[in-house]
A and B are shown apart, each in its own frame.
Chain A
Amino acid sequence: MAPREKNRELREALEPIAELGGVPSASGGPSHLAALSKTIMTPFGGSRSDSTRILKDLAPVIMTPRMIKGVATASSSSGPKPLAPRAADFAALGRAPMRITLHPRRITSTDMQILEATPELLHAEVPEPQGIAHDVSLIRGFKATIPSAERGKARRRKVRMSEGRAGLLRHGIGERGLLTETSIEEPGKSPRKGKGRAQRRQEREQGHVLGREELARQVGEIRMDKENLHVRKTLVNSEIDEITQKIKALDAIRDQLHQDLLKLQEEELELDDELDGVQEQLAEREAAKPEVPSPAARRKKGPAFLPSEHDDLPPGVAFMTLSHSSPITALDFTEPYGTLVSADREGGVRVWDLLEGEEVGRLRGHKGAVKAIQVEGDVCITGGEDGAVRVWDLRRVEEGEPTEEGVVVNGDVEHQEGEGELPQGPLLHVLEGHSKAVTALCFEDTSLVTGASDKTLRQWDLNTGQCILTMDILWAISHPPISTPITPSLEGLSPSGLLAAASGSFSWPIPSTGEMWTDYVGGVQAWGYALVSGSGDGGVRLWDMRTGQPHRTLLGHTAPVTCVQFDELNILSGSLDKTVRIWDLRMGRTADLITYDGPVTSLQFDSRKVVTCASENGVKIWNRTSRQLSTLSINGHTQPATKLRYIDRYMVSGGADGVVKTWAL
């Protein structure tokens, strides 16, 4: 806008002069001098000071002296400005409504812009006015805010000034409603009428002349002013509301951006992981091992390739439901959209095709419920309440009744198929040795480790079916490893609890449900010779399977440990004390503690997140980057989730409501 810029230039040109305190610089031309003298005179000019005063009233905060000067200058300077009245424009006054074809119009680019905009504007929707637009019309606001709205006030002030101090006092009384005095005086006026000018002048000097009409007029004016003020207040209020809304919207956008940033960071981490995995694979290849990485290796590292539709699934929403008849006690699956094996409390073990979402068959054989399941490729191992461990070949699972013929107890025979043995049933081996329920197991290649309520851990050779090692947790409790500082009574369970755990059968009331927790060994994980177990005494133990001795015990949980998992850096253990502890492997200390609302029954983690079931309907996800806890509950379980397992972005969870849900993460 050319006129505004020109104005500003003019003002800026004047500012140095004004700031120098009225010392005209040599560079200032005569017009500047003239403007300056006007600036200095401005406060004493009648109408001009009016306008600055009004402006001050309109925007008291922003009217710095410099601005007042600017205003005064702008209105007083007679320089050539587009918006200033010019001699030529006075002629326009007369013909304004008479502009006809005889006078060629000056068509400017703004004109063209305006005309071009018309069709677009006409097409815009015109909604019913609401809110402030409904309450205060633009013209009402205009009338309330334009300078002339203040005219009455100025006039009253003048009247009062001339009226004098006494009159003001009287007027003040009159305004408070004590008009009686005046009205009494009024009738008294008529007899005085003939008293002549001198008398009246005297009265005026005494301040008696403020007549009824003037007062009534003032009342009307003040009412009008008040109404105008009300309108302006409404306008300002609505403006404040609007700004509040805008700030809220901006805040929301900023939050969203923060979230996006977090997501990007996570993606970066994910890529780092993927790169590590791929590089490792590459290194393996180059080490001249043509062997294809086993499924177990893939489970730990590298990306699993999901069907392309998986990316289209909304994350955090359960998209499939598989029903059992009673609460889920254990589950595991081979790979996303692969095969799932799940067990319920009534002893049913079902095999599902995750691509179709259909039951493929059942694994029958255990007496009582199955408490631990692991699936790798076609091999499935289950541990049951009956103390037995069964090894299954999932390829042989079929609909219909399998027989138990051809099953070799504690395998005298290799489990190759088609070796003359009857291959009807999926069962390959039954490993017996535990005297109580097998509650945790972990196998890799041919080595299997199981934990059971008889308070022992056993290592098995899957080729021979023989138990090669038995590790007694009770013995470990009474012979703590030397390297561990002996502070069990301070941090771990109370000695009485330990004693109770040591004697006879183990049980612990679950805080939320009141049910008893009887799984002494909550979880085991083995990797190479390293073994980690979490048990009912609240201890997390690191075992060396070459010696069969625990070399470290991590104490901190105040209730039985229900699940453990470790990687190169950390051990994570979940417990009925409603926490997950993240242990630093090198320091042997709790590096972090995640607190939940309910006892933790199952967990799995990777470098970015810790996913847990914590006796809530929703599955909990702790973001290790943002340290935020979120809940997956959309289309989820209707009773607490108990078990979960995920690979890559595909998760399966089982709940007390007897259903298995599959999720996209």
Chain B
Amino acid sequence: MATDLPYAADAEISLSWDELDVLRQQYNIELEKSHVTVQTKFNYAWGLVKSPQREHQVEGVKLLQEIYRAEPGRRRECLYYLGLGHYKMGNYDDARKFNDLLLQKEPNNLQAASLRELIDRAVSREGYIGMAIAGGAAAVGTILLAGLVRRAMRK
């Protein structure tokens, strides 16, 4: 099967409010009738994942997990969406796990490869900032310490 997956960039383009609302309505209607089709569930989940709001993303990933559990045939695809969802949520560890599992199955998957790159970049950036904070704190501490020492020396 030629993999038909959106690139991560697609996940950054949010749906309009109206559109997401239609998807949610459709999902809720089917939910009330206690038969939710996979496509409806996915549509809503994907709409949620695309949203910039974290609560939406969490909800979306949860729905994707439900699809993953219930539909073995859809798991391959869902690996990618779960990876993407976790990536958007900032759970880079989990994002990497799902994405790597997909890459293990489909090493030539371009979308997954690009997602891996994005995750790597995000992790290192997070690392730099963390280091910067730590470094900053260390610097401040050193200065304070030096001040104290100097004051002590003066006496």
Contacts and interface: CB of A to CB of B under 8 A. Distances in A.
Same complex origin of A and B? yes
A133 B3 CA distance: 11
Contacts of B90: 99, 105
B56 A138 contact: no
Interface string B1-14: 10111100000101
A80 interface: no
B75 to A, nearest CB: 4
Dominant secondary structure at the B interface:
helix
B19 A121 contact: no
Interface string B59-78: 10110010011011111111
A148 interface: yes
Contact of B129 (A100, A110, A132): A100
Interface stretch (A50-58, A170-178, A528-536, A597-605): A50-58
A131 interface: yes
Contact of A142 (B39, B73, B94): B39
A75 interface: yes
A62 interface: yes
A137 B77 contact: yes
Interface string B25-54: 110110100010111101100110000111
Contacts of A127: 72-73, 75-76
Contact of A96 (B5, B17, B52, B97): B52
Contact of B73 (A54, A131, A140): A131
Contacts of B120: none
Given A114-B61, A124-B69, A129-B76, A54 B91 contact: no
Contact of B68 (A110, A124, A146): A124
Given A121-B68, A146-B15, A146-B43, A93 B52 contact: yes
Contacts of B55: 82-83, 108
Nearest to B75: A126
A115 B98 CA distance: 12
A141 B43 contact: yes
A1 to B, nearest CB: 8
B62 to A, nearest CB: 6
Interface residues of B, number: 68
5 contacts: A108-B58, A125-B75, A138-B38, A141-B42, A239-B37
B130 interface: yes
Contacts of B74: 129, 133, 138
B126 interface: yes
Contacts of A129: 1, 73-77
B24 A83 contact: yes
Interface string A51-87: 1001100110010000100010011000000110100
Interface of B: 1, 3-6, 12, 14-15, 17-26, 28-29, 31, 35, 37-40, 42-43, 46-47, 52-56, 58-59, 61-62, 65, 68-69, 71-79, 81-82, 88-91, 94, 97-98, 101, 105, 122, 125-126, 129-130, 133
Contacts of B129: 100-102
Nearest to A63: B29
A390 to B, nearest CB: 70
B72 A74 contact: no
Given A96-B52, A139-B5, A142-B46, A55 B25 contact: yes
A147 interface: yes
Those 3 A-B pairs whose CB atoms lie nearest each other, nearest first: A133-B73, A137-B4, A96-B52
Contacts of B28: 4, 7
A141 B62 CA distance: 20
B39 A141 contact: yes
Question: Which of A99, A121, A125, A134 has the most chain B CB within a 10 Å cutoff?
Answer: A121
B52 A92 contact: yes
Contacts of A148: 19
Contacts of A82: 55
Interface in A23-75: 47-48, 50-51, 54-55, 58-59, 62, 67, 71, 74-75
B21 A75 contact: yes
Nearest to B94: A118
A308 interface: no
Nearest to B66: A117
Contacts of B77: 129, 133, 137-139
A41 to B, nearest CB: 16
A96 B12 contact: yes
B43 to A, nearest CB: 5
A215 interface: no
Contacts of A51: 18-19, 21-22
